[in-house]
Structure 1
Amino acid sequence: MSSYRLDRTAFKAQTAEGAVTDQAAYYRSLTWQERLRIANYLNSVAYNYPENDPPKMDKTIFSMRSPK
């Protein structure tokens, strides 16, 4: 088993507020399509489904009534 080392040059020390500002600026620079693709990926990881094959909604549980 090889030993892993942290690459300290890949990160910079900053405050939490600074990190939020940097991340917000980065995501604002992306197009809406890129942000949507990232959101789809994060949902697939969070809910454990394949990225390009989201689960289908079970429509047998829901019913619709006409208003009286």
Structure 2
Amino acid sequence: MSLRLDRTAFHAGTHAETEACHRVQEPATLAERLRVAMYLNSVAFNFDLNNPPRLDRTAFSCRAHAEH
């Protein structure tokens, strides 16, 4: 199987065009940005957005720091 980059899908634009596009497409609030980040994580790590995996607490350890 050969994968090829479709160079017609994107074009180089000016700085002003790029900035205007980002202003329009950028999520407005922190909550929206967190929702988008959670969605992208669910796609990247292949888990259901409504049922995310739990943290495996056996993989981490916690110990008290000794005072000197």
Q: Kindly report structure 1 stretches of 4+ aligned residues shifted beyond 3 Å.
A: 16-20
TM-score under structure 1 normalisation?
0.60
Structure 2 counterpart of 1:65, one-letter code: R
Structural RMSD (CA):
2.6
Number of equivalenced pairs: 55
Which residue does 2:57 correspond to in 1? Answer: 59
What is the aligned-residue identity percentage?
Answer: 38
Gaps of 5+ in 2: 1-8
- SS at structure 1 position matched to 2:61: coil
Gaps of 5+ in 1: 1-10
TM-score under structure 2 normalisation?
0.60
